[in-house]
Structure 1
Amino acid sequence: MLTKLCMMYDLIPSKYPLYLATQSQSYGAIKLYSRLGFTPYLGAYKGCTEQKSKNAWQNVTEILRSKL
């Protein structure tokens, strides 16, 4: 379903970026989203600094490399 949604979204002219949120411990989901072309957001957002965001994604990346 997600693949079909992404394909349909690509057909929309003048579209905004497509964002997806997930829990940082959802390693299987993160791996799937990465395969679909989603990339981590490394900037600041509500309740999280840019540095904290970068550190969190570095941790997730290391765990994915070792587990999956």
Structure 2
Amino acid sequence: MGAAVPTDPTIYRLYEALQVYGPTLKEPIHEEFGDGIMSAINFRMGIKRVPDPEGDRVEIALNGTFLPYQW
């Protein structure tokens, strides 16, 4: 049984963005750091409003420790 898809609209859009752009984000992470993951332990996050003439935008920064895969 798979994980349930979020029903809250804001959480669903974040889920959707990671589903669509996750592989695209993974590639430069692996190119820059090697094979591994971004840990959510000792995790930092920032959110800010970015003014835009077509409507304000949301900027989210995720800052996690890189953990190389242990083989």
Q: For the superposition of Structure 1 and Structure 2, which TM-score range results when normalised by the shorter chain? A: under 0.3
The TM-score normalised by the length of structure 2 is: 0.23
Bigger radius of gyration among the two: 2
Task: Pick 1 or 2: higher relative contact order, CA cutoff 8 A, min separation 6.
Answer: 2
What TM-score do you get using the length of structure 1 for normalisation?
Answer: 0.24
More strand by share: 2
